Amino acid sequence: MKIKMLLVSLMVLISFSGCVAPTDEKTEQKQKLTRMAKENLSQILKVKADDIKVVGIEEVVWPDPSMGYGDPNVSYVPLAVPGYKIFLQYNETIYEYHAGNGRVVEPIVVPPPDISK
């Protein structure tokens, strides 16, 4: 009976151990891409990366490797690319980065909301 319980416990432990690694890898990837985006923006703005705030991260699946910034004259292979939209702020300006496949794409400035409506 003890051996049976030990085997069942071992099987449960093994089945759950496979579930933990992807989350850790995903978290590490998100942190790495966010760090890359902050470093890139700090170089563009010529400021310290620590002065740039992360104000949002959205998980997305890009429809192709251009990650939303494709050249209209180029035909891209439709290939799902898991990634993120990373929103960084410096002073009052928000910058949106598209990230995935271990790289970040130059940012766009997010226009402020129109509050006059």
Domain tally, the chain: 1
By CB atoms closer than 10 A (0-12, 13-18, 19+), residue 73 is exposed
C-alpha 20 chain-centroid distance: 19
- Domain assignment present for residue 66? The answer is yes
The phi, psi pair for 66, rounded to 5°, reads -70, -15
Reading the block at residue 56, the tokens are 């949002």
User: Going by DSSP bridges, is the β-strand pair 53-62/81-90 parallel, antiparallel, or unpaired?
Assistant: antiparallel
- Domain assignment present for residue 12? The answer is no
- Domain assignment present for residue 9? The answer is no
- pTM for the full predicted model: 0.73
- Domain assignment present for residue 36? The answer is yes
pLDDT in tens, 14-47: 444 444 445 788 889 999 999 999 999 999 999 9
- Domain assignment present for residue 6? The answer is no
- Pseudo-torsion of CA 102, 68, 86, 51, nearest 10°? 90
Domain that holds residue 31: 23-110
pLDDT in tens, 39-84: 999 999 999 999 999 999 999 999 988 888 888 898 888 899 999 9
- Domain assignment present for residue 3? The answer is no
